[in-house]
Structure formats: structure tokens, C-alpha cells
Amino acid sequence: MKLDSDTGLIREARQAASPNYDHRPDPTDIGLVVIHGISLPPGQFGGVQVEQFFCNALDCDADPYFDGIRELKVSSHFFIRRDGELVQFVPVHERAWHAGQSCYQQRENCNDFSVGIELEGTDDTAYTDQQYNRLAGLINCLLSTYPQLSAQAIAGHSDIAPGRKTDPGEKFDWPRLRQMLESG
């Protein structure tokens, strides 16, 4: 996997440009990876709704749950589907709107300095082998591109927004990810 440093895009990712981003205060200050879990409607996998949501194209009348997220403008840098497909919404050097009110090691506003990676899933559903493989490859690519980023600077949404967020959830296998990153 390769990141084009000029465009901030991963060549192997399918591109689905989101309008929900802006400039980072410092485009070179990338020191955190935030892992999320999402499915729309909750617990349903394989549809187009997550991509539509991040691109402001979700039909909010298609499911009662969508009415509660109608006004939200959010995005993430990446989305990894259950089958391992990688979708990119925002160039890495730009600020995606994924973390919300957040804090990591006494630094507020994690969107300013983090890369957001959404995994298709729920807190209580195990993630797939394909997702772990793609996630490890993506993180290794980011680690090799951004020297200030370390394998220790990977957090769940629940870690940076405790009490407000619970994803990626209890079924996310942190030891497995750490082992995969250590083995390259």
C-alpha cells in the first residue's frame, strides 16, 4: 500500500470524496490514528449508507434511525468494509470530521492531528480477518509515511471521547492488531 504524499491519497483505496473536511492547522502534524466502528442502519452491513452519510447523500427518510443523524456533517479519512475493501473520503493531510469533542494525552480536538479509520461493524460484533489485514496494512503505510506517528499512538474513539463514544467496541481485538503491526 502506498500513500501519495502530494495528494494525500492511498492509491489502492476507492475514492469517494466527502465535502465534510477542512484544512488541518498544521498538515504535517499527524500523530494519532483513531479507530472507529460504524454501520448504518446500526447492525446492518454491506449497504451504501455509510458512504452516503459521509458524502451528505444519505436518504434520511429511508430508515427511522436516519432521522436522528439528519443534520450531522461528518466524515473519516478511511472506511474499511467487512470484506476488506478500503474507501477513502478525505486526503490524509486534510482534517476529517470524525472525532468530535475529544482529547488524547492532554491534546484537545483530535481531528487536528489524527487520521480517522472507520471499520464497518458494531461494538458487539467481531471484526473480520479481512478488516484486520487491511487495517494493519493501512496503519503500516501511515507509519512509514509520517515519522512522528508511532504504533503506540493508536486509539479507539472510546479512548479519546470516553463517556460519549464506545466504538470500536468490546469485540475489537487490540492485541491482535498490535501483533500484526509488530510483525510488519
Active-site residue list: 118
CA angle, 149 as apex, 13 and 99 as ends, to 5°?
A: 70
Backbone torsions φ then ψ of 63, nearest 5 degrees: -155, 140
CA distance 32 to 29: 9
Task: Tell me how far apart the terminal alpha carbons of the chain are, to the nearest angstrom.
Answer: 13
Backbone torsions φ then ψ of 181, nearest 5 degrees: -70, -40
* Amino acid sitting at position 99: A
Q: Helix, strand or coil for residue 100? A: coil
